[in-house]
Amino acid sequence: MTLPSYETLLSEIVGTHVLKVTLNHPPANALNTQMGRDLFDLWHRLTVDPEEVRCVVLTGSGDRIFCAGADLKERKGMSDETWVRQHEVFERAYWTLLDCPVPVIAALNGHAYAGGLELSLACDFAYAVPTARFALTEVTLGIMPGGGGTQTLPRIAGERRAKEVILSGRPFSAEDALAWGIVNRLCQPAELLPAALDVAGAIAGNAPLSVRQAKKSIHYGLQMDLAAGLRFEIEAYNRLVPTADRQEGIRAFNEKRTPDFKGR
C-alpha cells in the first residue's frame, strides 16, 4: 500500500500484509492538529481501500512515551472557536479508527496519557511495556475525555473502574492496565514489537474478509442486545459463504496445505 509521507507518522509494510505505523512527534508524541489530520487520513484510507494491508501495529517513537495526549503548547492561547475546530479533527480521527475494518493493535512503548490512552482504547487490543503508565487526566485541566474515553473505557474495564480513572485523573500502572483488561499483555521493551508483529502476522495470515466480518460482529454486536447481536452475527457469517476465500479455506484444509487467501 502506498501512503503519503506524513509529517507526524512513519509507516512501513512489515512482513506480509502488516502495516507498522509509528507516532513520530518527539519528544512526547503529543497529539497536535497535524497528527490529527494525519491519523484521520490514514484510517480513512484503510477504511476505503486497505489494498494488501490486513493488520496494523500502532506504536510510538522513542522508548518512553507512546503518546502524551493533546499538545498543550499548541493549545496555549487558543480561542474557543479554534479549540472546537481542532477537536473536530481529533474526533474524526478517533471515530474513523473505531470504525476501521482492518484490525489495529497498539504496541505501547511507553506512557499513554489522556488522548494517548484514548488512542489505545480505540484500537482492537494492546500490548505494553511494564514501565508504561496510563491516565485520563482531562478533568485536572478543566475539560473531560473527548476522544471516546468515557465510552470505550467503561466497555473495556467496566463502569465503576472507568469512573475511578476518569473522575480522579490519577495515573495507574501497566500491571493495573493488564488486570483491568486495558492491555492484553506486558512485554519487555525488546520483545514488545516482535510480540505485536507476531500476532499481527497471525491475523494477516487468516482470511481477510473473515477477520473483518468477525471484528465488525464483535464491535457492533456489543452495542446490541443478545438476540439482535446473534442475528447480526449470522448476517455477517452468511456474507462469507459465497466467497472464494471460504472455498479456498476448505479446499486447503482437505488438501493439508496452507490456504492462499485473496480477500475475495
Q: Which residues are catalytic?
A: 118, 138
Q: With contact defined as beta carbons under 8 Å apart, do 93 and 71 qualify? A: no
Q: Which three cell numbers stand for residue 75?
A: 493549545
Q: With contact defined as beta carbons under 8 Å apart, do 171 and 163 qualify? A: no
Which amino acid is located at 173 in the chain?
S
Which amino acid is located at 39 in the chain?
L
The Cβ-side half-sphere exposure at 137, using a 13 Å CA radius, reads 17
In angstroms, the Cα distances linking 154 to 42, 148, 197, 229, 239 are 27, 10, 27, 19, 31
Distance CA 203, CA 211 (A): 7
Residues in Cβ contact with 147 at an 8 Å cutoff, skipping those fewer than 6 apart: 90, 91, 94, 115, 118, 119, 122
Distance CA 106, CA 100 (A): 14
Q: Report which of 244, 203, 183, 251 is spatially closest to residue 55, judged by C-alpha positions.
A: 203
